[in-house]
């Protein structure tokens, strides 16, 4: 039986000493990382660890977070987030699977292969399946027209490119948890770098402005001045500030969503 991931799964090099750049190429790492930054979820982890009784009457959002805890478990950690993530991902769950595979891999499929379907019953079973694509090919067409049509169909239904790795559209996923939309790991990395830099500055008691935050994380910025706007230092700083604010807002949204089993 074959299991696979619709979005890029993490590779580690080794679980004991994971290579950071490899881990960061998976959106699942950033999902986990966002969850570690969710203060409400961290309090829930603490309550569960200390066996503190929770209120019997819970809100809908609290019930959702409890369900996430049942699946994701305690994500608090000390030390390297990469080592902590590797340990969390590879930890076996009740099914005997690694936690990461249990949460994010597609259901096991028997006999997965590209083949000619001849039986009507088999074709009917494939219609509407998120795991397969049933295609009708008129044999009277020339090969070049068939190839062109197939490429167009596959581009729509199967593959898109993200940072050099092939990913499928997560809306077709049937995994226990899946991305709500495609996510580019490099963008997620920069988003949380800005969020971490902001928190670190606040902890030091010297909050940084958005432009300073952009400098700390070396945010790449290409100026796109409006046709009627004169390029000035003030305009550049304002545009950078707007960009950083958008990153920070997205980070806060992802952190909140992660507590309810959603990402990004």
More confident site: 106 or 18: 18
Residue 64 confidence class, pLDDT cut points 50, 70, 90? very high
Residue ranges per domain, the chain? Answer: 20-104, 120-168, 185-258
Task: For 92, list phi and psi in degrees, rounded to 5.
Answer: -75, 140
- Find tokens 């706007």 and name the residue: 229
Token pair belonging to 81: 């987030």
The total of other beta-carbon atoms located within 10 Å of residue 231's CB is 11
pLDDT computed for residue 168 by the predictor: 66
Task: For 161, list phi and psi in degrees, rounded to 5.
Answer: -110, 135
Percent of the chain with pLDDT over 70: 84
Token pair belonging to 56: 């019997």
Which residues contact residue 41 at a Cβ distance below 8 angstroms, ignoring those fewer than 6 apart? 35, 65, 68, 69, 75, 258, 259
CA 141 – CA 152 distance, rounded (Å): 16
Strand partners, 167: 160
At 209-264, the pLDDT tens digits run: 999 999 999 998 766 655 555 668 888 899 999 999 999 999 999 999 999 999 99
At 46-60, the pLDDT tens digits run: 998 877 666 665 788
CA 80 – CA 197 distance, rounded (Å): 16
CA 179 – CA 68 distance, rounded (Å): 15
Token pair belonging to 53: 């009784």
Q: Is 109 helix (H, G, I), strand (E, B) or coil?
A: strand
CA 10 – CA 26 distance, rounded (Å): 5
pLDDT computed for residue 220 by the predictor: 83
Q: Are residues 126 and 117 in contact, defined by beta-carbon separation less than 8 angstroms?
A: yes
Residue 174 confidence class, pLDDT cut points 50, 70, 90? confident
Token pair belonging to 209: 């402005």
CA 9 – CA 203 distance, rounded (Å): 33
Residues 187, 107, 35, 171: is their CA dihedral positive or negative? positive
Checking 92-101 for CB contacts under 8 A at 24+ apart, the result is: 99/72, 99/73, 100/9, 100/10, 100/28, 101/3
CA 12 – CA 86 distance, rounded (Å): 7
CA 230 – CA 225 distance, rounded (Å): 7
Q: Is 41 helix (H, G, I), strand (E, B) or coil?
A: helix
Residue 164 confidence class, pLDDT cut points 50, 70, 90? very low
């Amino acid at each position: 039986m074959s299991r696979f991931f619709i979005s890029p799964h993490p590779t580690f090099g080794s679980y004991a000493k994971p290579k950071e750049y490899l881990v960061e190429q998976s959106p699942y790492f950033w999902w986990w990382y966002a969850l570690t930054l969710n203060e409400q979820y961290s309090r829930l982890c603490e309550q569960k660890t200390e066996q503190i009784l929770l209120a019997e009457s819970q809100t809908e959002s609290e019930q959702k977070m409890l369900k996430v805890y049942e699946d994701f478990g305690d994500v608090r950690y000390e030390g390297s987030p990469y080592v902590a993530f590797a340990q969390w991902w590879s930890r076996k769950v009740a099914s005997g699977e690694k936690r990461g595979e249990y949460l994010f891999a597609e259901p096991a499929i028997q006999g997965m292969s590209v083949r000619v379907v001849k039986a009507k019953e088999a074709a009917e079973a494939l219609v509407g399946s998120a795991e397969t694509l049933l295609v009708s090919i008129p044999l009277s067409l020339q090969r070049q027209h068939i190839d062109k049509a197939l490429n167009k169909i596959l581009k729509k239904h199967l593959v898109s490119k993200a940072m050099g790795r092939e990913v499928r559209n997560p809306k077709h996923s049937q995994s226990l948890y899946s991305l709500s939309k495609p996510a580019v790991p490099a963008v997620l990395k920069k988003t949380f770098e800005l969020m971490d830099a902001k928190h670190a500055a606040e902890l030091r008691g010297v909050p940084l402005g958005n432009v300073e935050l952009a400098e700390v994380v070396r945010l790449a910025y290409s100026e796109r001045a409006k046709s009627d706007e004169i390029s000035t230092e003030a305009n550049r700083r304002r545009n950078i500030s707007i960009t950083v604010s958008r990153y920070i807002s997205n980070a806060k949204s992802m952190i909140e969503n992660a507590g309810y089993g959603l990402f990004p």
